[in-house]
Each structure stands twice: as structure tokens, then as C-alpha cells.
DNA sequence: TTGAATTTTGAACGGTGTTCATTATTTTGA
DNA sequence: TCAAAATAATGAACACCGTTCAAAATTCAA
């Protein structure tokens, strides 16, 4: 058996990726396996390993795409012009709702993105970090109007803090390790965090007064 | 083969649990398997299933114990008497440090506790929720001095919000999906969240003035 | 046309969770 | 005392998993 000319390497790589995604979307993370992907594209299991070093490498590529889609999704959020403090809160709520909608429509891919732990403990590739960074820049934009003369690193520090906090609430709720204790949706808890966090930022040295 | 009289069912159940923990502690979550546990206690794999319905049930029991230990560990934190606002912040920092120390000394068990997703999507048993609740009550105690006449449900709502947020920061950092973007330890990010969150609570309707 | 390069295979290895008929032992009852 | 019932433990079997790699099939270059 050899070059079947059916597909170029790049095509094949894309087919594998698409099939992997279809499996995850259709049946959850546990449905993803090399053998199932191979069967889906009509190749032998070994072929997968000619194009991806291992399953984790395939998942990493898939997660990169999910990250990109999430960014595109959030970027579409129309943020209001900020004339007063409350507008920042409303903008962040819009982003939150966008995020929750994305999760609703892509639950399995989202779980794969954040819960999967690669067996190999190496650092993530640079392109991956860049996509995470793009995501965080969306929050940067929403927070920036609150400050004047703030260092971009300091702004990012705040965005990361808020982002990771919201992520914690949503992912604990998703794992049902939160819902039972408090009879509230993750939206409400996130909303409370946003409001409290923003209010707390009033103590920040670069915080700008209310108007314009 | 039959009743070897070596161990009573309860003893055997405890041996299985202890062996499972040893495996996780020694080699991480991926080292835990029915066959390895069986080998460790000198029984056949099938025996495990006479005492635990499946591996997830075993993990749930183990996680319950970890939860209990975490609670015991945090309970030992000596909280300062609160005479002013800053004392609450210091107390929460103490709890944070206690939590981070616990993770440092029990990383694999902690990962099993929060990252493991049981295959069966049923709700967690009541005793499990109770232990989570006990954990949250520790945070309740630290936050309570800030308020007067606050409903216990409302206080718990705030504790959950803070707890889940801190968890998000720490778990993202643990998965290395945070460290690369921001060059800071999870301690520092958590610390920032605590300070900002507490500052934000000043807007709460039950917030009590600074003194006493 | 022939030899080198490339692509694909699929069996094999060592694992996994789980089941359950069978067997060995102990306990019970007459 | 002895057979029958209850119990405890087994381990082979089933259906999976990720991964490897010698071998085979095909294409390309000379």
C-alpha cells in the first residue's frame, strides 16, 4: 500500500482534523480516538501518525482552531461607547453572554480545550499562546476605558485575573461541582463577580474618574 | 477461590482506597487503574468490582477523603480578629497560602479531585456536597466580619464566587494555560483578585463600615 | 526500465475498564 | 456429622485504547 493520490498530505491532515472535531462534537471528548478518526476518513490507524506525532498533537491543533473561533465569536460583540462606569459593566456582561453562548454551542470542543491535559508536560507552542493573548486583548479593550495612563502589562494583568476567575466559575459549574451548593446559574455568579471586580478597581492607582 | 479470611470486606475496601491513593500520589492520575490496585493488594482485578461499582466510584470516595483533608488543613488556619478592613484581606491571604500549600503537598490528589470527570453524568451524592459546603463555610467565616445583618445565603453566594474565581486562576495556572501569557505566579494573581474583590464588596448593601 | 523515494498498511505490543461463569471456602441447618 | 446454601475470589474474555514499524504498494527520477 502506498500513495493513493487520493489526497495530498495537507488535505489529509485537514481531513483528520475535521473528522476529529466531528467525533468530539457528536459524542464528546471520549469519542475521539485514532482508530475512529482513521475509520472515518477511510485510512488505517497508522496513517494518523504520519501526519500528527500523536493524539495530543492532534488535540492541540484542534484546540487552536477552537481558540480562534472563540476569539472570532467574541470579537463580533458590539461594545458600547463608554461614557460612564456602568457602560464598562454592560460591555463585560455582553462579552460574558457571548462566551456562555459559545460554550452552549460548542460544549464538547470547549471542554477539550480547557480540560484536556496532554500526557507530555512540555510547554505549549508559541502560536498557541498568541491566540490566548488575542482572546485576552478583547477583555483589555473592555477594561481600558476605566483607566488613564495605565501600563499595558498592568492592564493585561487585570484582564487575566478577571478572565481566569470567570473561567473558574463556569468550569466548576460545568463539572457540577458548584451548582448543587448554590442554587444559581453560572451566569448569575459571573455577573456578581464582574460587578464586584469592577467596583473593586476603583481603588486602582490608574483608575479614572467617572465621566468620559 | 473464596473467602480467604485475610480481610473483612471493610478492611478490603479500605486497602483498595489506600492503594489507589498511593498510586496517584506516586505517579499521578494516569497511574490509577483497577489492575494496578489489585496487584498492589494481592488480589485479582475482579475483586475491586466486588467492593466498588466501578473506578469512578472508587475515585469519588478518594476525592471525598481529599476534600475532607483539605477542609482539615484550611481549618487549622488561625484567622486574626478583625478590627479593620485590612484584617479580612490578610485572613483571606492566609487561607490562600494554606490552600496553595495543600496543593503543593497533594498535587496529584488535588488534580484528581477537580479535573476528573466521571463517565456517568449523574449528580454527586449528598455527602459530597456537604463536604464542599464545609469547605465554603471556612470562607464564610473570613468574609462575615465585613457585613452586618447579611443573609447566610447571600454570604455563601459571595464565598462561592470568590472560591470559584480563585480556583479558576489556580487551575488554569496548573494546566500552564495562564503562566505563559502573564509572567506571574498564581499566588500573585490570586492576591490581586482577593484585594480587588474585597474592595468591590464595599458597594454591597450589607457592608459594614470600617471599625470594629 | 530500474532503482530510489514516498506513502500506506495492519498486525502486534502492552495497556485499559468491566463482566461473569466457575471455583473454593465457610457457614448454616437438620 | 454432613449436605446444602451462602459467600468470596478468581481470571479469562470482550471490546476498547495509543503507538510502533517492518513490509508492501505505489510513484517519481534517472
For the CA of A43 and the C1' of D17, the distance in angstroms is 18
Most confident of B49-58, B115-124, B176-185: B49-58
Question: Is A35 in CB contact (< 8 Å) with chain B?
Answer: no
For residue A13, the enclosing domain spans: 1-52
**Same domain, yes or no: A19 and A82:** no
Question: Is A206 in CB contact (< 8 Å) with chain B?
Answer: no
- Look at residue A118 and give its three-state secondary structure: coil
B191 part of a folded domain: yes
pLDDT at B180: 58
Q: What is the mean pLDDT of residues B187-199?
A: 97
pLDDT at B94: 98
B148 part of a folded domain: yes
**Same domain, yes or no: A30 and A75:** no
pLDDT-based confidence at A172, cuts 50/70/90? Answer: very high
pLDDT at A23: 98
pLDDT-based confidence at A181, cuts 50/70/90? Answer: low
pLDDT at A177: 79
**Same domain, yes or no: A87 and A183:** yes
Chain C bases closer than 7 angstroms to a protein Cβ:
5-12, 15-21, 23-26
Share of chain A above pLDDT 70, in %: 94
**Same domain, yes or no: B108 and B192:** yes
**Same domain, yes or no: A87 and A167:** yes
In whole numbers, what is the pLDDT of chain A averaged over residues?
93
Domain end call among A10, A28, A52: A52
**Position B50 pLDDT exceeds 90:** yes
Q: Which residue has the higher pLDDT, B176 or A136?
A: A136
pLDDT at B24: 98
pLDDT at B181: 59
Flag if B164 and A161 touch (Cβ within 8 Å): no
Q: Tell me: the pLDDT tens digits for B78-90?
A: 999 999 999 999 9
Q: Tell me: the pLDDT tens digits for A73-90?
A: 999 999 999 999 999 999
pLDDT at A61: 98
Q: What is the mean pLDDT of residues B177-206?
A: 89
B80 part of a folded domain: yes
* Measured distance CA(A154)–CA(A201) in Å, rounded: 12
Question: Is B184 in CB contact (< 8 Å) with chain A?
Answer: yes
Q: Tell me: the pLDDT tens digits for A92-107?
A: 999 999 999 999 999 9
Flag if A166 and B167 touch (Cβ within 8 Å): no
Measured in angstroms, the CA of B49 and the nearest CA of chain A are apart by 22
**Which of B10, B210, B117, B148 has the alpha carbon at shortest distance from A176?**
B117
Question: Is A176 in CB contact (< 8 Å) with chain B?
Answer: yes
Flag if A182 and B160 touch (Cβ within 8 Å): yes
Q: Tell me: the pLDDT tens digits for B90-126?
A: 999 999 999 999 999 999 999 999 999 999 878 899 9
Q: Tell me: the pLDDT tens digits for A31-55?
A: 999 999 999 999 999 999 999 999 9
pLDDT at B5: 62
B139 part of a folded domain: yes
Question: Is A135 in CB contact (< 8 Å) with chain B?
Answer: no
**Same domain, yes or no: B144 and B83:** yes
**Same domain, yes or no: A48 and A81:** no
The nucleotide minimizing the C1' distance to residue A32's CA is D17
A119 part of a folded domain: yes
Q: Which residue gives the smallest C-alpha to C1' distance to C20? A: B46
A59 part of a folded domain: no
* Measured distance CA(B10)–CA(A24) in Å, rounded: 40
**Same domain, yes or no: A13 and A70:** no
Residue B146 CB partners (closer than 8 Å, separation 6+): B82, B85, B88, B198, B201, B204, B207, B208
- Cell 498511593 locates to B22
B193 part of a folded domain: yes
Give A205's contacts in chain B (Cβ within 8 Å).
Answer: none
Flag if A181 and B119 touch (Cβ within 8 Å): no
Per-residue DSSP letters for B59-103? HHHHHHHHHHHHHHHHHT--PPP-SSHHHHHHHHHHHHHHHHHHH
Give B156's contacts in chain A (Cβ within 8 Å).
Answer: 181-182
Of A83-97, A114-128, A195-209, B159-173, the range with the lowest mean pLDDT is A114-128
Q: How many domains does chain B have?
A: 2
pLDDT-based confidence at A199, cuts 50/70/90? Answer: very high
**Position B212 pLDDT exceeds 60:** no
For the CA of B51 and the C1' of C28, the distance in angstroms is 24
pLDDT-based confidence at B8, cuts 50/70/90? Answer: confident
**Same domain, yes or no: B146 and B183:** yes
pLDDT-based confidence at A210, cuts 50/70/90? Answer: low
* Measured distance CA(A164)–CA(B170) in Å, rounded: 9
Give A182's contacts in chain B (Cβ within 8 Å).
Answer: 156-157, 160
Question: Is A100 in CB contact (< 8 Å) with chain B?
Answer: no
* Measured distance CA(B70)–CA(B163) in Å, rounded: 14
**Same domain, yes or no: A113 and A189:** yes
pLDDT at A211: 43
**Position B149 pLDDT exceeds 90:** yes
Q: Which residue has the higher pLDDT, B13 or B209?
A: B13
**Same domain, yes or no: B121 and B155:** yes
B212 part of a folded domain: no
pLDDT-based confidence at B1, cuts 50/70/90? Answer: very low
Flag if B203 and A184 touch (Cβ within 8 Å): no
* Measured distance CA(A55)–CA(A42) in Å, rounded: 18
The chain B residue lying nearest A137, using CA atoms, is: B181
**Same domain, yes or no: A121 and A163:** yes
* Measured distance CA(B212)–CA(B82) in Å, rounded: 7
Helices (H), chain B: 9-27, 34-41, 45-51, 55-75, 85-105, 107-115, 126-143, 152-174, 186-200
Give A175's contacts in chain B (Cβ within 8 Å).
Answer: 114, 117
**Which of A155, A145, A138 has the alpha carbon at shortest distance from A82?**
A145
* CB A55 within 7 Å, strand D: yes
Question: Is A148 in CB contact (< 8 Å) with chain B?
Answer: no
pLDDT at B122: 80
Q: What is the mean pLDDT of residues A143-168?
A: 97
Measured in angstroms, the CA of A77 and the nearest CA of chain B are apart by 23
Give B200's contacts in chain A (Cβ within 8 Å).
Answer: 195-202
CB atoms within 10 A of CB A189: 25
Best B168, B185, B188 member to test A by mutation, with max A CBs in 10 Å, is B168
- In the Cβ-directed half-sphere of B203, how many Cα atoms lie within 13 Å? 16
pLDDT at B73: 98
Q: What is the mean pLDDT of residues B40-68?
A: 98
Residue A42: CATH number of its domain: 1.10.10
Question: Is A178 in CB contact (< 8 Å) with chain B?
Answer: yes
pLDDT at B176: 80
Q: Which residue gives the smallest C-alpha to C1' distance to C19? A: B46
pLDDT-based confidence at B210, cuts 50/70/90? Answer: low
Amino acid at each position: 500500500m502506498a500513495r493513493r493520490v487520493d489526497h495530498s498530505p495537507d488535505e489529509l491532515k485537514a481531513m483528520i482534523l475535521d473528522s476529529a472535531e466531528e467525533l468530539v462534537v457528536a459524542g464528546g471528548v471520549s469519542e475521539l480516538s485514532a482508530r475512529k478518526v482513521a475509520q472515518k476518513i477511510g485510512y488505517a490507524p497508522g496513517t494518523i501518525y504520519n501526519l500528527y506525532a500523536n493524539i495530543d498533537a492532534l488535540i492541540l491543533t484542534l484546540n487552536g482552531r477552537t481558540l480562534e473561533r472563540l476569539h472570532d465569536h467574541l470579537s463580533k460583540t458590539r461594545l458600547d461607547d463608554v461614557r460612564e462606569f456602568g457602560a464598562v459593566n454592560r460591555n463585560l456582561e455582553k462579552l460574558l453572554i457571548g462566551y456562555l453562548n459559545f460554550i452552549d454551542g460548542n460544549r464538547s470542543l470547549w471542554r477539550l480545550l480547557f480540560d484536556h491535559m496532554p500526557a507530555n508536560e512540555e510547554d505549549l507552542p508559541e502560536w498557541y499562546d498568541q491566540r490566548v493573548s488575542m482572546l485576552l486583548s478583547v477583555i483589555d479593550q473592555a477594561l481600558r476605558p476605566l483607566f488613564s495612563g495605565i501600563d499595558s502589562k498592568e492592564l493585561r494583568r487585570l484582564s487575566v485575573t478577571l478572565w481566569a476567575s470567570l473561567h473558574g466559575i463556569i468550569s466548576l459549574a460545568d463539572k457540577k461541582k458548584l451548582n448543587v451548593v448554590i442554587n444559581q446559574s453560572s451566569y448569575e455568579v459571573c455577573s456578581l463577580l464582574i460587578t464586584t471586580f469592577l467596583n473593586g478597581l476603583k481603588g486602582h492607582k490608574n483608575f479614572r474618574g467617572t465621566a468620559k
